[in-house]
Structure 1
Amino acid sequence: MSLPLPPLRDVIARHGLSAEKALGQNFLLDGQLLDRIARVPGPLEGERVYEVGPGPGGLTRALIGAGAEVTAVERDRRCLPALAELSEAAPGRLHVIEGDALAIDERATVGEGAHIVANLPYNVGTALLVRWLDAQDWPPWWRSLTLMFQKEVADRIVARPDTPAYGRLAVLAQWRSMPKIALPVHRSAFVPPPKVMSAVVHIVPTEQPEGVGIRTLEALTAAAFGQRRKMLRQSLKSLPGALAALDVVGIDPTRRAETLSVDEFVAVARTMQSPRRPGEDF
């Protein structure tokens, strides 16, 4: 879908927009790159997309151009006139909400089965990701996540055991979903260029392992990685049932958290939860 709009740089200049460091903003202006990001979730014709922090609407243009119906949440009211122009150019395809993404009831606002696609503001990116991965109900309301992060955060999401980046975020992202780095993004693609490289991460929910809930796993990984240099027998001694679960599963308590696979964390959490009623969380 081709939109009758001026170049994004002209829109930014006309509205006097500049990326605000306090809001974690960095604008993407490369149309080809934006189109590539919009293709990561798969065909979007007729699909619903939820976007956080659209700014002047570069990625929003690409999503609408790919055929999506977009609900965008923007807290920077300076960007609203530019987004209003985009909404007028694509009637019925863009709904803009002024507000804080951390305070939005997303399920009620967007409905079930939407894709989340966003060049996330750096200062809230991880918090939003954890919120989306942390749902008690699974499968979640969203169908997929396509999100821009600092490369350091992206590496933590997809990290494997026994690597420096492996930690709670990797376990949270991998125990019931499948994350991958879809494409790297050079710092020069942004205006202004950030000090760090970035990457787009694509996450698709998978089936949740039976007999374990998110709260149990969160408690386990918080204790284990909270003192990651210590042996598990030390880091887990204050968590009820954890050391006994290690013994049942057959995990050496002298190991450290970063050596355990995601499946091993799930097995320990399941064993911790097993005396409880089926489906009851820790």
Structure 2
Amino acid sequence: MTLDDLPPLRAVIAQYGLSAEKSLGQNFLFDSQLLDRIARVPGPLEGERVYEVGPGPGGLTRALLRAGAQVTAVERDRRCLPALAEIADAAEGRLNVLSGDALAIDEAAQLGRGVHIVANLPYNVGTALLVRWLSIEDWPPWWASLTLMFQKEVAERIVASPDSDHYGRLAVLTQWRAQPKIAFAVNRAAFVPPPKVTSAVVHIVPGEVPAGVRPKTLERLTEAAFGQRRKMLRQSLKGLPGALEALAALDIDPARRAETLSVADFVAVARLLTARA
């Protein structure tokens, strides 16, 4: 059997009695043209290594394989493993399926460097995985690019600019050393079952890392600053040692709120905190 001989995804769902589990944040995509479009976002994948989280019955997995990629997929839902095994048999050695929780996998050790991450992420772990991939100490990271499906609201938070409704911690943690963009939106009707919200595909590539800043320091700073985003910085940052002194050294008015600071402002504060640690 080849990839072209595989039964339609709807038939696979029926054959194995699969249904999207809300507790696992699952929503299945069946539209092969849409799936192929997602697989094109990272660029040509012929001969490239791809890591997919939460493949479910394997719709996006098939698209990645059609694009010529060598795919490693991790799936927590054991009900989906037989369907993925069929794809692996047809892929002639280009699909490796791992059974387990993506949050528990040592990805760099398993996959090596230069891997493209492409995934229709389960909604309930998507943000946690993104922060994990963005918070790597060693930069450039082991991944070459991220192409990820999120709820549109989360996607807008990732690419947001200062002084906008969506700007917050996720924007800073992404943009301080990476370049994100929204590739395209995906209507809720494309999913089975349809989620309550529109989704969007986000593409992120690593950029230059600002000198003298530790990721953990920036994480603590943004967590404090945006944890009480309606409060002035003098209030939200008073529990973070050295933060108010850093604001003063940089001539940043402590009466401002976190959403008015640029990514560069946060980086500058984090640099001073890192130097004084």
1 CA distance for matches of 2:43 and 2:79? Answer: 31
Partner of 2:232: 231
2 CA distance for matches of 1:257 and 1:120? Answer: 29
Partner of 1:76: 77
- Give a deviation string over 1:87-123, Cα, whole Å, max 9, x none: 1111111000111111111111111110000000011
1:141 Cα deviation after fit: 0.5
Partner of 1:270: 271
- Give a deviation string over 1:148-199, Cα, whole Å, max 9, x none: 0111111111111111111111100110001111110000000010111100
Partner of 2:124: 123
User: 1:102-121 maps to which residues of 2 (within 5 A)?
Assistant: 102-121=103-122
1:2 Cα deviation after fit: 5.8
1:3 Cα deviation after fit: 2.9
Partner of 1:88: 89
Q: TM-score when scaled to structure 1? A: 0.95
Partner of 2:18: 17
Q: TM-score when scaled to structure 2? A: 0.97
The answer to whether the Cα contact below 8 Å between 2:3 and 2:62 also exists between their aligned partners in 1 is no
Size of the aligned set, in residue pairs, is 276
Structure 2: 5+ residue stretches without partners: none
Given residue 63 of structure 1, which amino acid in structure 2 is its aligned partner? L
Partner of 1:41: 42
Q: Does 1:143 align with 2:144?
A: yes
1:266 Cα deviation after fit: 0.4
% identity of equivalent residues: 76
RMSD of aligned alpha carbons: 1.1
The answer to whether the Cα contact below 8 Å between 1:181 and 1:200 also exists between their aligned partners in 2 is yes
Q: Structure 1 residues 43-52 or 157-166, which shifts more?
A: 157-166
1:271 Cα deviation after fit: 1.8
2 CA distance for matches of 1:101 and 1:2? Answer: 26
The answer to whether the Cα contact below 8 Å between 1:3 and 1:65 also exists between their aligned partners in 2 is no
The answer to whether the Cα contact below 8 Å between 1:166 and 1:258 also exists between their aligned partners in 2 is yes
Q: Structure 1 residues 119-128 or 234-243, which shifts more?
A: 234-243
Where 2:5 maps in the other structure, the secondary structure is coil
1:10 Cα deviation after fit: 1.3
Partner of 2:252: 251
1 CA distance for matches of 2:227 and 2:192? Answer: 36
Q: Does 1:155 align with 2:150?
A: no
2 CA distance for matches of 1:192 and 1:16? Answer: 15
User: 1:160-175 maps to which residues of 2 (within 5 A)?
Assistant: 160-175=161-176
Q: Does 1:196 align with 2:197?
A: yes
Given residue 75 of structure 2, which amino acid in structure 1 is its aligned partner? E
The answer to whether the Cα contact below 8 Å between 1:161 and 1:258 also exists between their aligned partners in 2 is yes
1 CA distance for matches of 2:165 and 2:182? Answer: 17
Where 1:85 maps in the other structure, the secondary structure is helix
Given residue 143 of structure 1, which amino acid in structure 2 is its aligned partner? A
Structure 1: 5+ residue stretches without partners: 276-281
Q: Does 1:32 align with 2:36?
A: no
